[in-house]
Amino acid sequence: MAASAGATQTPADEVPVPQGEAHTLEPSLDSRAGRLSFCTKVCYGIGGVPNQVASSATAFYLQLFLLDVAQIPAAQVSLVLFGGKVSGAAADPVAGFLINRSRRTGSGRLMPWVLGCTPFIAVAYFFSWFLPPFTSLRGLWYMTFYCLFQALATFSQVPYTALTMLLTPSPRERDSATAYRITMEMAGTLMGAAVHGLIVSGAHSPHRCKDADLELPGPVTVSPGAACLYSVAAAAVAVTYPVCIGFLYLGVKERPDPSAAASSQGMSFLAGLGLTVRHPPYLKLVISFLFISAAIQVEQSYLVLFCTHASRLHDHIQSLVLTILVSAVLSTPLWEWVLQRFGKRMSAFGICVMVPFAILLAIVPTAPVAYIVALVSGVSIAVSLLLPWSMLPDVVDDFQLQHQHGPGMETIFYSSYVFFTKLSGAGALGISTLSLEFAGYEAGACKQTEQVVVTLKVLIGAVPTCMILTGLCILMVSPTPKVPRQDTSRRLSLRRRTSYSLA
């Protein structure tokens, strides 16, 4: 700490670092300040679990809940999903701006935002699944609380993900912490789908259609216990927020900034945002994962509907969802090894593994094929989640090397990235759900028309395939920022201690 305080008297770019000294000092930096303990990495990963638990439940079951339990028209469901994603996306730059302007407290500058949003997120999430007694304004009810949940989750997720850059100056340790976070988040995704799915499985039992005329499409009255089951599942997920964020607060501490005066010289948010979107590696990274992340969201959102209405896989829904998530969790450490061994560009090819199998499922919707597709999809989903968060710190470092007087801009990079990916997901889910309305989807019906079945097959096969291939093509032609060498990493570390306004 004394060394860093002294370093504030001299700009980082003027610090003389002889070549021999750089190689002798950097191992000491990595071994002391750079290395993260196992407990810190685990607690940091646990902090990302609640949002993934909630995201998993909403990704797989919210659309089904709104259509078949709340029995909202497909057009209104499209507005709810689109509005929620847009509100979350719009909150990203706002969160980045406010966090960048906030003052450091005893808990740091990022941690208070995570702590303050936690109770409100839990409440908003619960009411997003609560069935109100009235029917005429249910669409507005779910629009309000789902938008509120997405916005609050963003105000918690932006500082949490930006915390990666402030844990350590070592790129390898940041990648390791990211792998821990992704692994824990995948475990949270598994837990969310498993717990929520097991609780609400009785709400969509095939027995509810036995007394209905299956030859004619039409709505079926939902059992009175269905709404209660969804409320119980929502409460179980909401509890994870205070529990996991408590572990994050106790196990992870922000690195202090010894230079308070330098923070007042930081660049404004709008000026920083203008620089980030003009940075070629960042721009191409964002555009490529706009398509890839939207494809993954479409695949997740329509899997349950596809199994329910376009195939005879209703009894396998829970098992298929768990197969996808277990495969993703188990393959995440493998992809971390692949990233370190073969590089991040080569690892990107793992995303396209699911493409032929998704098409095969749409053509041959049988149980054996579905389980193979679920297994392979989990592998692809794991790398699609790990890769952008591993590449983003390298992009930030590349930006800092090219803009010598730039302050700490982690929240700007992270918030704008999440903003663009959420916006693409909002458009993809909104348009795809609206296509069900045009195809004639009838809420609560046991059997849908042939046009709806064909639409679901296109949404589960052709749409994700085209989006993934487009994103990969953009990613492959873009330049990959190089990981900073030891002397460069040390110089960036010194500059963070003197210039960053977020530490």
Whether 188 and 247 have beta carbons less than 8 Å apart is answered as: no
Residue 9 CB coordination number (10 Å):
8
With b for 16 or more beta-carbon neighbours within 10 A and e for fewer, the 146-156 pattern comes to bbbbbbbbbbb
Within 13 Å of residue 64, how many CA atoms lie on the same side as its CB? Answer: 26
With b for 16 or more beta-carbon neighbours within 10 A and e for fewer, the 80-95 pattern comes to bbbbbbbbbbbbbbbb
DSSP-H helix ranges across 69-137: 74-101, 111-128
DSSP label at residue 105:
B
As a whole number of angstroms, the distance between CA 89 and CA 416 comes to 9
The tens digit of pLDDT for each residue in 432-470 reads 888 888 888 877 677 778 888 888 888 888 888 999 999
Residue 388 CB coordination number (10 Å):
22
Rounded to the nearest 10°, the torsion over CA 365, 368, 374, 375 is -150
β-bridge partners, 105? 108
What pLDDT is stored for residue 262 in this prediction? 43
As a whole number of angstroms, the distance between CA 53 and CA 99 comes to 25
CA distances from 69 to 60, 92, 321, 434 (A): 14, 31, 20, 18
Whether 488 and 401 have beta carbons less than 8 Å apart is answered as: yes
User: Strand, helix or coil at 445?
Assistant: strand
Question: Which residue reads 């509907």 in tokens?
Answer: 305
Three state DSSP letters for 307-336? HHHCCCCHHHHHHHHHHHHHHHHHHHHHHH
What pLDDT is stored for residue 215 in this prediction? 44
As a whole number of angstroms, the distance between CA 382 and CA 189 comes to 11
Whether 272 and 412 have beta carbons less than 8 Å apart is answered as: yes
Whether 89 and 426 have beta carbons less than 8 Å apart is answered as: yes
As a whole number of angstroms, the distance between CA 131 and CA 228 comes to 8
Question: Which residue reads 């920022």 in tokens?
Answer: 481
Within 13 Å of residue 61, how many CA atoms lie on the same side as its CB? Answer: 30
Output the DSSP codes for 27-62.
Answer: HHHIIIII---HHHHHHHHHTTHHHHHHHHHIIIII
What pLDDT is stored for residue 313 in this prediction? 81
What pLDDT is stored for residue 404 in this prediction? 60
DSSP-H helix ranges across 102-170: 111-128, 138-162
Give the mean pLDDT per block of 10 residues along the chain (503 residues).
Answer: 37 40 40 71 90 88 86 87 87 79 76 90 94 86 94 89 76 77 81 86 61 47 74 92 90 60 52 78 87 86 82 81 85 83 81 86 88 89 84 81 61 76 81 83 77 88 90 78 49 37 28
Whether 303 and 365 have beta carbons less than 8 Å apart is answered as: no
